[in-house]
Amino acid sequence: MVLFINDIDNINDINDIDNITGLNIVTNQCFPDAHAITILQNLQELKPLDQCLIGQAKENRRKNRYKNILPYDTTRVPLGVEGGYINASFIRMPVGNEEFVYIACQGPLPTTVADFWQMVWEQNCTVIAMMTQEVEGEKIKCQRYWPDVLNKTTMINDRLRLALVRLQQVKGFIIRVLELEEIQTGEVRHISHLNFIAWPDHDTPSEPDDLLTFISYMRHVHKSGPIVTHCSAGIGRSGTLICIDAVLGLISRDLDVSIPGDGLSGASDPQEMCSVESIPSFEESAVLRAVARLLVGDPGGESSNIPWFLGWSRES
Protein backbone atom coordinates (compact mmCIF):
# COMPACT_ATOMS: atom_id res chain seq x y z
CA MET A 1 0.00 0.00 0.00
CA VAL A 2 2.96 2.36 0.48
CA LEU A 3 3.71 2.14 -3.26
CA PHE A 4 0.10 3.00 -3.96
CA ILE A 5 0.19 6.05 -1.71
CA ASN A 6 3.49 7.28 -3.10
CA ASP A 7 2.25 6.99 -6.68
CA ILE A 8 -0.98 8.84 -6.07
CA ASP A 9 0.89 11.68 -4.35
CA ASN A 10 1.54 12.94 -7.89
CA ILE A 11 -2.10 13.99 -8.16
CA ASN A 12 -2.43 17.66 -7.32
CA ASP A 13 -6.06 18.36 -8.14
CA ILE A 14 -9.14 16.33 -7.24
CA ASN A 15 -10.59 17.22 -10.63
CA ASP A 16 -7.89 15.13 -12.29
CA ILE A 17 -10.14 12.10 -11.86
CA ASP A 18 -13.40 13.70 -12.94
CA ASN A 19 -13.28 12.34 -16.48
CA ILE A 20 -12.77 8.93 -18.03
CA THR A 21 -9.29 9.69 -19.31
CA GLY A 22 -8.23 10.97 -15.93
CA LEU A 23 -9.70 7.94 -14.22
CA ASN A 24 -7.77 5.59 -16.50
CA ILE A 25 -4.55 7.47 -15.82
CA VAL A 26 -5.12 7.33 -12.09
CA THR A 27 -5.92 3.62 -12.30
CA ASN A 28 -2.69 2.92 -14.15
CA GLN A 29 -0.67 5.10 -11.78
CA CYS A 30 -2.04 3.78 -8.57
CA PHE A 31 -2.70 0.14 -9.37
CA PRO A 32 0.14 -1.06 -11.60
CA ASP A 33 -1.00 -4.64 -11.01
CA ALA A 34 -4.70 -3.69 -10.77
CA HIS A 35 -4.76 -5.55 -7.45
CA ALA A 36 -7.37 -3.49 -5.63
CA ILE A 37 -9.63 -3.33 -8.66
CA THR A 38 -9.34 -7.09 -9.09
CA ILE A 39 -10.32 -7.57 -5.44
CA LEU A 40 -13.57 -5.71 -6.02
CA GLN A 41 -14.31 -7.50 -9.28
CA ASN A 42 -13.59 -10.93 -7.80
CA LEU A 43 -16.37 -10.45 -5.27
CA GLN A 44 -18.76 -11.21 -8.12
CA GLU A 45 -17.25 -14.67 -8.54
CA LEU A 46 -17.71 -15.95 -4.98
CA LYS A 47 -19.76 -19.11 -4.64
CA PRO A 48 -22.18 -20.03 -1.83
CA LEU A 49 -20.42 -21.94 0.94
CA ASP A 50 -23.31 -23.05 3.13
CA GLN A 51 -26.98 -23.93 3.25
CA CYS A 52 -29.99 -21.78 4.07
CA LEU A 53 -32.25 -24.39 5.63
CA ILE A 54 -33.48 -22.23 8.51
CA GLY A 55 -34.60 -19.44 6.19
CA GLN A 56 -36.36 -22.00 3.99
CA ALA A 57 -38.29 -23.53 6.90
CA LYS A 58 -42.06 -23.27 6.47
CA GLU A 59 -42.53 -21.21 9.64
CA ASN A 60 -39.95 -18.65 8.47
CA ARG A 61 -40.97 -18.15 4.85
CA ARG A 62 -43.31 -15.26 5.63
CA LYS A 63 -40.38 -13.43 7.22
CA ASN A 64 -38.48 -13.26 3.91
CA ARG A 65 -39.09 -10.36 1.53
CA TYR A 66 -37.66 -12.40 -1.35
CA LYS A 67 -37.89 -16.18 -1.32
CA ASN A 68 -34.53 -16.66 -3.06
CA ILE A 69 -32.45 -14.32 -0.87
CA LEU A 70 -31.79 -16.02 2.45
CA PRO A 71 -29.04 -15.95 5.10
CA TYR A 72 -26.61 -18.81 5.58
CA ASP A 73 -27.40 -20.99 8.56
CA THR A 74 -23.90 -20.45 9.97
CA THR A 75 -23.77 -16.65 9.61
CA ARG A 76 -27.38 -15.64 10.23
CA VAL A 77 -28.18 -13.35 13.17
CA PRO A 78 -30.07 -15.34 15.84
CA LEU A 79 -32.80 -13.68 17.90
CA GLY A 80 -33.07 -14.24 21.63
CA VAL A 81 -31.92 -17.22 23.65
CA GLU A 82 -33.84 -19.59 21.40
CA GLY A 83 -32.11 -18.36 18.24
CA GLY A 84 -35.20 -17.06 16.46
CA TYR A 85 -35.10 -16.19 12.76
CA ILE A 86 -34.61 -12.90 10.97
CA ASN A 87 -33.37 -12.45 7.41
CA ALA A 88 -30.03 -10.96 8.43
CA SER A 89 -26.39 -12.03 8.23
CA PHE A 90 -23.15 -11.16 9.96
CA ILE A 91 -20.46 -9.90 7.57
CA ARG A 92 -16.94 -9.74 9.00
CA MET A 93 -14.17 -7.86 7.18
CA PRO A 94 -10.59 -7.94 8.55
CA VAL A 95 -8.96 -4.50 8.43
CA GLY A 96 -5.43 -4.76 9.78
CA ASN A 97 -5.63 -5.78 13.42
CA GLU A 98 -9.30 -4.85 13.56
CA GLU A 99 -12.43 -6.52 12.29
CA PHE A 100 -15.19 -4.46 10.74
CA VAL A 101 -18.45 -6.21 11.59
CA TYR A 102 -21.70 -5.56 9.76
CA ILE A 103 -25.19 -6.97 9.74
CA ALA A 104 -26.59 -7.06 6.21
CA CYS A 105 -30.34 -7.56 6.22
CA GLN A 106 -33.44 -7.12 4.13
CA GLY A 107 -35.68 -4.10 4.44
CA PRO A 108 -38.10 -4.94 7.25
CA LEU A 109 -41.59 -6.20 6.44
CA PRO A 110 -44.65 -5.10 8.45
CA THR A 111 -44.43 -8.43 10.28
CA THR A 112 -40.69 -8.21 11.04
CA VAL A 113 -40.32 -4.66 12.40
CA ALA A 114 -40.30 -5.90 16.00
CA ASP A 115 -37.75 -8.58 15.10
CA PHE A 116 -35.55 -5.93 13.50
CA TRP A 117 -35.47 -3.75 16.61
CA GLN A 118 -34.94 -6.78 18.82
CA MET A 119 -31.86 -7.56 16.72
CA VAL A 120 -30.59 -3.97 16.97
CA TRP A 121 -30.96 -4.07 20.75
CA GLU A 122 -29.48 -7.53 21.32
CA GLN A 123 -26.47 -6.83 19.08
CA ASN A 124 -25.90 -3.40 20.71
CA CYS A 125 -25.97 -1.65 17.33
CA THR A 126 -25.70 2.13 17.23
CA VAL A 127 -25.80 2.80 13.47
CA ILE A 128 -28.28 1.76 10.80
CA ALA A 129 -27.37 2.51 7.17
CA MET A 130 -30.52 2.37 5.07
CA MET A 131 -29.62 2.23 1.38
CA THR A 132 -33.10 2.32 -0.11
CA GLN A 133 -36.22 4.42 -0.03
CA GLU A 134 -39.52 3.09 1.24
CA VAL A 135 -41.02 3.10 -2.25
CA GLU A 136 -39.08 2.99 -5.52
CA GLY A 137 -40.65 2.72 -8.95
CA GLU A 138 -44.10 2.33 -7.37
CA LYS A 139 -42.89 -0.77 -5.52
CA ILE A 140 -42.65 -1.06 -1.75
CA LYS A 141 -39.01 -1.72 -0.90
CA CYS A 142 -39.07 -1.36 2.88
CA GLN A 143 -41.62 -0.97 5.63
CA ARG A 144 -41.21 2.23 7.62
CA TYR A 145 -39.84 1.00 10.93
CA TRP A 146 -39.15 4.31 12.67
CA PRO A 147 -41.47 7.05 14.03
CA ASP A 148 -41.78 10.10 11.78
CA VAL A 149 -42.99 12.59 14.42
CA LEU A 150 -40.39 14.19 16.67
CA ASN A 151 -40.51 13.17 20.34
CA LYS A 152 -43.49 10.87 19.85
CA THR A 153 -42.93 7.46 21.43
CA THR A 154 -43.83 4.32 19.51
CA MET A 155 -44.21 0.93 21.18
CA ILE A 156 -42.26 -1.72 19.27
CA ASN A 157 -43.43 -4.55 21.49
CA ASP A 158 -43.93 -5.14 25.21
CA ARG A 159 -40.18 -4.83 25.72
CA LEU A 160 -38.99 -1.94 23.53
CA ARG A 161 -40.18 1.55 22.69
CA LEU A 162 -38.79 4.03 20.21
CA ALA A 163 -38.75 7.81 19.75
CA LEU A 164 -37.40 10.15 17.07
CA VAL A 165 -35.36 12.88 18.76
CA ARG A 166 -33.56 14.51 15.83
CA LEU A 167 -34.12 14.85 12.10
CA GLN A 168 -31.83 16.50 9.56
CA GLN A 169 -31.55 16.27 5.78
CA VAL A 170 -28.28 16.94 3.99
CA LYS A 171 -27.26 16.42 0.39
CA GLY A 172 -27.81 12.78 -0.50
CA PHE A 173 -29.08 11.44 2.81
CA ILE A 174 -31.27 11.90 5.88
CA ILE A 175 -30.00 11.74 9.46
CA ARG A 176 -32.32 10.52 12.19
CA VAL A 177 -31.37 10.07 15.82
CA LEU A 178 -33.61 7.60 17.61
CA GLU A 179 -33.95 6.69 21.27
CA LEU A 180 -34.48 2.99 21.84
CA GLU A 181 -35.56 2.12 25.37
CA GLU A 182 -35.89 -1.22 27.10
CA ILE A 183 -39.00 -0.76 29.21
CA GLN A 184 -38.20 -3.18 32.03
CA THR A 185 -34.76 -1.77 32.86
CA GLY A 186 -35.24 1.80 31.64
CA GLU A 187 -31.98 1.62 29.66
CA VAL A 188 -31.94 4.06 26.74
CA ARG A 189 -29.65 3.88 23.71
CA HIS A 190 -29.23 6.39 20.91
CA ILE A 191 -29.33 4.97 17.41
CA SER A 192 -28.12 6.90 14.35
CA HIS A 193 -30.39 6.06 11.43
CA LEU A 194 -28.77 7.19 8.18
CA ASN A 195 -30.94 6.94 5.07
CA PHE A 196 -29.04 7.29 1.79
CA ILE A 197 -31.53 8.56 -0.80
CA ALA A 198 -29.30 9.24 -3.81
CA TRP A 199 -29.07 5.65 -5.05
CA PRO A 200 -31.80 4.29 -7.33
CA ASP A 201 -32.43 0.55 -7.30
CA HIS A 202 -30.75 -1.44 -10.10
CA ASP A 203 -28.46 1.52 -10.81
CA THR A 204 -25.57 3.44 -9.29
CA PRO A 205 -25.28 6.99 -7.92
CA SER A 206 -24.32 9.47 -10.62
CA GLU A 207 -21.43 10.71 -8.46
CA PRO A 208 -19.52 9.01 -5.61
CA ASP A 209 -19.23 12.20 -3.54
CA ASP A 210 -22.50 11.84 -1.64
CA LEU A 211 -21.84 8.19 -0.83
CA LEU A 212 -18.33 8.97 0.42
CA THR A 213 -19.74 11.63 2.73
CA PHE A 214 -22.40 9.17 3.88
CA ILE A 215 -19.87 6.41 4.65
CA SER A 216 -17.56 8.86 6.39
CA TYR A 217 -20.37 10.16 8.59
CA MET A 218 -21.46 6.58 9.29
CA ARG A 219 -17.98 5.81 10.62
CA HIS A 220 -17.92 9.06 12.59
CA VAL A 221 -21.09 8.29 14.55
CA HIS A 222 -20.48 4.54 14.96
CA LYS A 223 -19.94 3.75 18.65
CA SER A 224 -20.47 0.04 19.23
CA GLY A 225 -21.82 -3.17 17.80
CA PRO A 226 -22.11 -4.19 14.16
CA ILE A 227 -23.17 -1.58 11.62
CA VAL A 228 -26.60 -2.60 10.36
CA THR A 229 -27.07 -2.00 6.65
CA HIS A 230 -30.00 -2.82 4.44
CA CYS A 231 -31.49 -1.93 1.10
CA SER A 232 -34.55 -3.89 0.01
CA ALA A 233 -33.00 -7.33 -0.35
CA GLY A 234 -29.89 -6.59 1.71
CA ILE A 235 -27.40 -7.48 -1.01
CA GLY A 236 -26.50 -5.15 -3.93
CA ARG A 237 -26.40 -1.67 -2.43
CA SER A 238 -25.65 -2.96 1.07
CA GLY A 239 -22.80 -5.10 -0.24
CA THR A 240 -21.32 -2.17 -2.12
CA LEU A 241 -21.43 -0.02 1.01
CA ILE A 242 -19.59 -2.73 2.95
CA CYS A 243 -16.93 -3.15 0.24
CA ILE A 244 -16.16 0.55 -0.05
CA ASP A 245 -16.14 1.07 3.73
CA ALA A 246 -13.70 -1.81 4.25
CA VAL A 247 -11.42 -0.69 1.42
CA LEU A 248 -11.33 2.86 2.79
CA GLY A 249 -10.47 1.43 6.20
CA LEU A 250 -7.49 -0.38 4.69
CA ILE A 251 -6.35 2.64 2.69
CA SER A 252 -6.59 5.02 5.66
CA ARG A 253 -4.26 2.69 7.57
CA ASP A 254 -1.76 2.35 4.68
CA LEU A 255 -2.54 -1.36 4.47
CA ASP A 256 -2.66 -3.64 1.46
CA VAL A 257 -6.06 -3.66 -0.13
CA SER A 258 -7.05 -7.29 0.23
CA ILE A 259 -10.51 -8.68 0.90
CA PRO A 260 -10.51 -12.43 1.64
CA GLY A 261 -12.51 -14.71 -0.60
CA ASP A 262 -15.03 -15.39 2.14
CA GLY A 263 -15.30 -11.79 3.26
CA LEU A 264 -18.82 -11.37 1.91
CA SER A 265 -19.87 -14.98 2.30
CA GLY A 266 -22.51 -14.13 4.86
CA ALA A 267 -25.05 -13.61 2.09
CA SER A 268 -26.75 -16.59 0.51
CA ASP A 269 -25.54 -15.42 -2.91
CA PRO A 270 -22.28 -13.45 -2.67
CA GLN A 271 -22.46 -12.72 -6.39
CA GLU A 272 -25.57 -10.68 -5.74
CA MET A 273 -23.73 -8.47 -3.25
CA CYS A 274 -22.51 -6.68 -6.37
CA SER A 275 -25.51 -7.49 -8.53
CA VAL A 276 -25.48 -4.51 -10.88
CA GLU A 277 -22.93 -4.66 -13.69
CA SER A 278 -21.96 -1.02 -13.19
CA ILE A 279 -21.41 -1.35 -9.43
CA PRO A 280 -17.77 -2.60 -9.61
CA SER A 281 -16.75 0.39 -11.75
CA PHE A 282 -18.61 2.69 -9.36
CA GLU A 283 -16.76 1.12 -6.41
CA GLU A 284 -13.48 1.72 -8.21
CA SER A 285 -14.38 5.33 -8.94
CA ALA A 286 -15.45 5.96 -5.35
CA VAL A 287 -12.29 4.44 -3.88
CA LEU A 288 -10.01 6.33 -6.26
CA ARG A 289 -11.76 9.59 -5.53
CA ALA A 290 -11.57 9.02 -1.79
CA VAL A 291 -7.84 8.31 -1.87
CA ALA A 292 -7.16 11.37 -3.99
CA ARG A 293 -9.13 13.47 -1.53
CA LEU A 294 -7.23 12.10 1.44
CA LEU A 295 -3.97 13.12 -0.18
CA VAL A 296 -5.00 16.40 -1.77
CA GLY A 297 -7.00 17.46 1.29
CA ASP A 298 -10.11 18.24 -0.72
CA PRO A 299 -13.19 18.68 1.53
CA GLY A 300 -15.59 17.41 -1.10
CA GLY A 301 -17.07 20.71 -2.18
CA GLU A 302 -19.47 23.07 -0.49
CA SER A 303 -22.69 21.25 -1.33
CA SER A 304 -22.84 19.42 1.99
CA ASN A 305 -22.48 20.86 5.47
CA ILE A 306 -20.90 17.64 6.70
CA PRO A 307 -17.18 17.23 5.88
CA TRP A 308 -16.80 13.98 3.95
CA PHE A 309 -13.62 13.02 5.81
CA LEU A 310 -15.10 13.02 9.34
CA GLY A 311 -14.83 9.26 9.69
CA TRP A 312 -11.67 8.72 7.70
CA SER A 313 -8.26 10.30 7.94
CA ARG A 314 -4.98 9.09 6.61
CA GLU A 315 -3.04 7.67 9.52
CA SER A 316 0.61 8.61 9.77
Which residues participate in catalysis according to the annotation? 231
The 3-state DSSP class for residue 108 equals coil
CA 126 to chain centre: 13
Q: Within 13 Å of residue 182, how many CA atoms lie on the same side as its CB? A: 10
Render 133-194 in DSSP notation, one character per residue. -SEETTEE-----S--SBT-EEE-SSSEEEEEEEEEEETTEEEEEEEEEETTT--EEEEEEE
- Read off φ and ψ for residue 2, nearest 5 degrees: -65, -40
Any residues with CB less than 8 A from the CB of 207 and at least 6 apart, and which?
A: none
Overall residue count recorded for the chain in this entry: 316
CA–CA distances in Å: residue 157 to residues 37, 163, 182: 45, 13, 10
H helix or E strand, kind and range, residue 94: strand 88-95
3-state secondary structure of 90: strand
What does the DSSP 8-state code read for residue 274? G
Beta strands in 188-298 (DSSP E): 188-196, 227-230
